[in-house]
Amino acid sequence: MSIESPTPEELQHMLEQTKQQKSYQADQQGNPLTSYMRQPQIYIKLPSGGKYWREGSLNYPSNGELPVLSMSTKDELILKSPDALINGQGVVDVIHHCMPDIKDAWEMPIVDVDTILIAIRIASYGENMDYSTACPKCTAINEYEIDLKQFLDMPVDVASYDETITYQDLNLKIKPQNYRSVNASSLDIFEQQRLVTLVDNENLDADEKQAKFNEIFKKMTELTVRNITGSIEYIEMPDGNRVANKEYIDDFVANSDRSVFDDLRKRQEKINNSFPDKSVNTTCPECNHAYTVPFTFDQANFFESAS
């Protein structure tokens, strides 16, 4: 910011943040303890830039910066509930409480999820997080701190979502899946994996087990196809008409040449590979072996480690 006086852009930024802070206090008007309640700790910009959110699910500020409040005791208790974490409701509830501009976190595009969770963690516990890993060479357990802000500052390229896929004279427009779809898919996959374990432990003859495994495999295949087709926003016809009906789109992909599915899968892989690598480079203090650890955001331990 300018030392002598703020620029028009800086002044607008200050006014926007002041307006946001006042709006959070409005619901507590009349409470003499309002000034002691949680206030925004940081402000973030979403990788999506507010795109891909369903209308009404996000109150996007004009300056593009969303305030983030720290978690409350209630939020921490929610995140300690296994059921709330597994079905995703706990994460959604905490996001609503810590980021009031997000009205329906189930609708957040997957490209924004990591940024939102990291921001809430930073607002609640600070930028550093304790992390432990086993050295792949000597198996020693190494503990160190990770600066989470480095992940928050990583740019996310979403330009590939604006590129259409052409099939004959059709144009397929893709989009990031929302948290609701991704969470539902994760639950389905978890259930199928659980069934595999159950079937393997059941006292069934070889033919019965094979039949059950075939059913599970069929279901897993359907889930894979559903995950890919779920990224299609619409299919544009030669006359400009756009087909967005999910049943029509699923039917089209299931009954089209395999090249359609392959092109969709390759595009999704390209997008996934364009996301910033959140790996951490470290050196084992015991044997001096240098190795890379993929940093994962597991809601079950991502917040618990600081509690």
Q: Tell me the pLDDT tens digit for each residue of 199-209.
A: 777 777 777 77
Classify residue 109: in a domain, yes or no: yes
- Cα→Cα distances 237→72, 248, 258, 283, Å: 50, 13, 19, 55
**Rounded to 5 degrees, what are φ and ψ at 66?**
-100, 130
> What pLDDT score does 105 carry?
96
| Least confident piece of the model among 25-39, 219-233, 245-259, 266-280 | 25-39
Tokens representing 41 are: 């700790």
Exposure class string for 222-240: b at 16+ Cβ within 10 A, else e: ebebbbbbbbbebbbeeee
**The residue type at 25:** Q
> What pLDDT score does 2 carry?
41
263 and 170 within one domain: yes
Supply angle C-alpha 245, 246, 251, rounded to 5: 105
- Tally the residues of the chain: 307
167 and 70 within one domain: no
Task: For residue range 216-229, list pLDDT tens digits in order.
Answer: 888 888 778 888 88
191 and 126 within one domain: no
Classify residue 65: in a domain, yes or no: yes
179 and 107 within one domain: no
Task: For residue range 147-168, list pLDDT tens digits in order.
Answer: 899 888 888 888 888 889 999 9
260 and 223 within one domain: yes
Classify residue 25: in a domain, yes or no: no
Classify residue 123: in a domain, yes or no: yes
Classify residue 232: in a domain, yes or no: yes
N- to C-terminal Cα distance for the chain?
35
Kindly tell me if the per-residue pLDDT of 54 is higher than 90. Answer: yes
- Mutual angle of helices 110-125 and 89-98, in 10-degree steps: 60
163 and 69 within one domain: no
297 and 151 within one domain: yes
Please list, in sequence order, all residues whose beta carbon lies within 8 angstroms of the beta carbon of residue 219, skipping any fewer than 6 positions away.
Answer: 188, 192
Task: Give the β-pairing of 242-243 and 279-283.
Answer: unpaired
118 against 197, higher pLDDT: 118
Classify residue 121: in a domain, yes or no: yes
Q: Do 259 and 265 meet the contact criterion of CB atoms below 8 Å apart?
A: no
Q: Do 109 and 175 meet the contact criterion of CB atoms below 8 Å apart?
A: yes
Instruction: Report how far residue 13's alpha carbon sits from residue 65's, in angstroms, rounded to the nearest whole number.
Output: 9
> What pLDDT score does 305 carry?
47
190 and 126 within one domain: no
Classify residue 31: in a domain, yes or no: no
Range of the domain at 166: 159-274
Tokens representing 237 are: 């016809």
Question: pTM for the complete prediction?
Answer: 0.79
270 and 168 within one domain: yes
- Domain count of the fold of the chain: 2
173 and 127 within one domain: no
What is the band of 10 on the pLDDT scale with cuts at 50, 70, 90?
A: low
Classify residue 127: in a domain, yes or no: yes
177 and 116 within one domain: no
> What pLDDT score does 23 carry?
57
301 and 264 within one domain: no
Which H or E run contains 229?
Answer: helix 206-229
